[in-house]
Amino acid sequence: MKSFDAIVIGGGQAGPFLAARMVEKGMKVALIERKFLGGTCVNAGCMPTKTLVASARAAHVARSGAVYGVNIPGEIAIDMKVVRARAETVTMNARNGLIGWFAGMDGMTVIYGHARFEDPKTVSVNGETLTAPRIFLNVGARPVIPDLPGINDIDYLTSTSIIHLDTLPRHLAVIGGSYIGLEFAQMYRRFGAEVSVIEHGPKLASREDEDISDAIADVLRSEGIDIHTGVSDIAFSRNSDGTTVATDSARIDASHVLIATGRKPNTDDLGLDAAGIVTDKHGYITVDDRLATNVDGIWALGDCNGHGAFTHTSYNDFEIAAANLLDGDDRKVSSRILAYALYIDPPLGRVGMTEKQARASGRKIMISTRPMSRVGRANERGETKGFMKVIADAETKKILGAAILGIEGDEVIHGIVDAMNAGTTYPALQWSVPIHPTVSELIPTLLGDLKPV
């Protein structure tokens, strides 16, 4: 049996950085990764997909050149092999960077294999047994495949497999109208495929307020994406050229099908029962406000704990654990103000409460909205789709949440993210003097237009 000061299972966006901090403190650490260092973000999520989004935007801008007085003769052609290779290069650079970083660390042992608990202090991997007083789980999540009629009879894609396509689908059917599905829908439409989005719920991006969901749908429809919402029945069958997707309202002849109906944690084959670790009904590991499981000496970080399915929340889990265990701090998950983005174009930047959540909280609230058509920078760039929205507490003057669906919305939202984390009241933020011409310069104006509801 090999002994370590700590064992980290999973090489995502929390565990490896915590392992590096512990090594800096002179600890002996084993990092066990089943497949690739970097987790979903590096290998099948943010980095490859946003690289693909960039290629799709380049195609869209090229096709729109005449509007700006830039005439490009001939048809804009997409070389999917180059598109795929570019995304793979970005992934491999990041992954190899992590491999090289850890290889140079004395005290770090990287093991590739499938880890399972033998007891609360012991795990087995590749026929070896390892033990440590502290064990950290950062095992991530994977796509959910729903039990739909005929699904096992077709060759479907997931968010993991679609990034390896090097040919252009004739018609891509996207099952699921949430964040992952919508990003791929617009991306492949811009590459030149016909695209249909099929969503069970009444709205796209159901987590958002209805006005945001409707605006997202308008953006996608304006680019020729076919959207079906409120679909109660879906069935699949093979045809001579791919797959027939039959719903209660339409039949779609698709060459490719992307299943984007959610994700589930990678916790079902870790031997959690042997360690006595408790999970909820969805398989997420139950943790307290400091990320500790019910078993002393075991913590769960990142997607597998159900407290955020984003790279930045996973990394923040690392920050919380490191601060509490190594720096004598007392940081809590409940102190985190959730922010995220939807990377369609224009992007959606979101932070804090939605209007629906704010109204349900019983607070006296104020709301302000501003269309992007009234933002100078958006007009100069010719990108006026979407709008800005902010919700504030009428009594405390604190900002409760915001949504910016529009040009650079994923960056602009950080002005409000920072203000909320600093506890700044909206009247104080109104006195900032932003740079002109930017999208961010409209934040004080947006706040000045807050009205009670």
Instruction: Using alpha carbons, list the distances in angstroms from residue 15 to 33, 298, 329, 338, 373.
Output: 10, 12, 19, 20, 44
The identity of residue 138, as a single letter, is: N
Contact 216, 348 (CB under 8 A): yes
The three state secondary structure string of 59-117 is HHHHHCHHHHCCCCCCCCCCCHHHHHHHHHHHHHHHHHHHHHHHHCCCCEEEEECCCEE
Annotated catalytic residue, options 60, 256, 307, 436:
436
Residue 197 tokens, joined: 């989005």
Q: Hunting for tokens 């970083």 — which residue is that? A: 101
What is the number of H-type helices and E-type strands within the chain? Answer: 13, 24
Q: Under the phi-then-psi rule, with left for phi > 0, alpha for psi from -120 to 50, and beta for the rest, what region is 190? A: alpha
Strand ranges in 151-261 using DSSP code E only, listed in sequence order: 171-175, 194-198, 226-228, 234-239, 242-247, 251-254, 256-259
Residues 153, 158, 164, 169: is their CA dihedral positive or negative? positive
Residues 6+ apart with CB under 8 A from 284: 265, 267, 304, 305, 306
Instruction: Using alpha carbons, list the distances in angstroms from residue 288 to 197, 297, 332.
Output: 38, 13, 9
Which residue from 1, 61, 4, 70 is spatially nearest to 31, judged by alpha carbons?
Answer: 4
Instruction: Please indicate whether residue 282 is annotated as part of the active site.
Output: no
Residues 179, 183, 188, 194: is their CA dihedral positive or negative? positive
Which residue from 354, 313, 311 is spatially nearest to 333, judged by alpha carbons?
Answer: 313
Instruction: Using alpha carbons, list the distances in angstroms from residue 221 to 69, 239, 370, 404.
Output: 25, 27, 22, 19
Instruction: Count CB neighbours of 164 within 10 A.
Output: 12
Contact 197, 230 (CB under 8 A): no
The identity of residue 343, as a single letter, is: Y
Which positions are annotated as active-site residues?
Answer: 436
